[in-house]
Amino acid sequence: MSGGFAWWRVGEDARTECRGAVCLLLGRPVLVHEARFGGVVVEPAHSEEHWPDGYWNLTRADPMPPRKR
């Protein structure tokens, strides 16, 4: 009912629910998260210190969990 955002790897059953993720799109980092009324929003990700809390870093082969500030 309230939606949510999750990611998972192709061929795996485990889902990881989170606020969003930093991914690569055409080689550039982007923030991916749930839109206000459903769907997905993709926006440019500037320097890493400005990435929101609770976002997984999926730009690497081994995903990094959200950092704690």
**Band of the pLDDT at 26, cuts 50, 70, 90?**
very high
Q: Region 61-68: what's the mean pLDDT? A: 80
Give the residue among 19, 35, 29, 63 at the shortest CA–CA distance from 49: 29
- How confident is the model over 31-61, as pLDDT tens digits? 999 998 888 999 999 888 888 888 999 998 8
Q: What average pLDDT is seen over the chain?
A: 88
